[in-house]
Structure 1
Amino acid sequence: MQRLTALFTAALLSAGIMSAPAMAQEDAASSEAAQAQAAAPATDFSDETLQKFADASKEIASVSREYTERLQNADDEAAKQEVRMEANEDMVGIVEDSGLEVSTFNAIGQAIQQDPELMKRVQAMVEPQEPQDK
């Protein structure tokens, strides 16, 4: 359970890293829509969408560990900023390769923080299914 919590924490932290550049790229109208969505995240995501989120989260958690170490070892603020930008690009790529938009990934991340049932659905998709021998 701690590993799963760490996974979601990494994914949500990554989502926070990704959201600022992604939002900056949107025009004013879609930015307002994204802010409205962030204020009241949807919880009616399909199982397919949640599975994509779970898969991307696992990969982001792995990548996040690498970048966290590199960030800690960076010599100065310029080097740290370079690591952050590289991490952001990689994590955005992971999300997009999963078939999700960054805004959808972020919305799911916010929704699972506010909805314990949704969190349980995603956890079930992340945790390996163990055979039940009785």
Structure 2
Amino acid sequence: MQRLTALLTAALLSAGMLSAPAIAQEDASSDAAQAQAAAPATDFSDETLKQFAEASKEIASVSRDYTERLQNAEDEAAKQEVRMEANEDMVSIVEDSGLEVSTFNAIGQAIQQDPELMKRVQGMVEPQAE
């Protein structure tokens, strides 16, 4: 569960979705998962970063739906069911992008600590208007 929650946290951060991390905040174990990677690698290929960016964009979109469902859940059991379904969907998105969950999480953690890497990824997520 720690890896999956870290996955959501990384996706939300990378896609600029800091206003909607409700699912991730429900599980304090994400802090422990992030602490385990104190110095993540930052030498990811452009192809890998592009896969991350595309998966993050899709996850951010999906997470909005799950955040709304979580807020509308009637009880803790319903909330847990929404969390599990969200995690399963997000893992599928990452795997369909061609990345492993561990690689996706490593990139997510790296961009939190490296502003330049975050700019590179955001440039891959956001359409270039200029």
TM more than 0.5: yes
Note the C-alpha offset of 1:39.
2.2
TM-score w.r.t. structure 1 length?
A: 0.73
Per-residue CA distance 1:26-83 (angstroms, 9 max, x = gap): xxxxxxxxx86x2210000000000000000000000000000000110100000000
Structure 1: any 5+ residue segments left out of the alignment? 21-34
Considering only CA atoms, is the larger Rg found in Structure 1 or Structure 2?
1
Structure 1 outlier segments of 4+, above 4 Å? none
Note the C-alpha offset of 1:9.
3.7
Is the contact made by 1:7 and 1:58 (CA closer than 8 Å) also made in structure 2?
yes
Aligned Cα root-mean-square deviation (Å): 3.2
Which structure has more helix as a fraction of its residues?
1
Counterpart in 2 of 1:111? 110
Secondary structure of the equivalent of 1:43? coil
Identity %: 80
Aligned partner letter, 1:113? Q
Is the contact made by 1:8 and 1:57 (CA closer than 8 Å) also made in structure 2?
no
Counterpart in 1 of 2:119? 120
Structure 2 Cα separation of the partners of residues 110 and 95 of structure 1? 15
Structure 2: any 5+ residue segments left out of the alignment? 1-11, 30-34
Counterpart in 2 of 1:8? 16
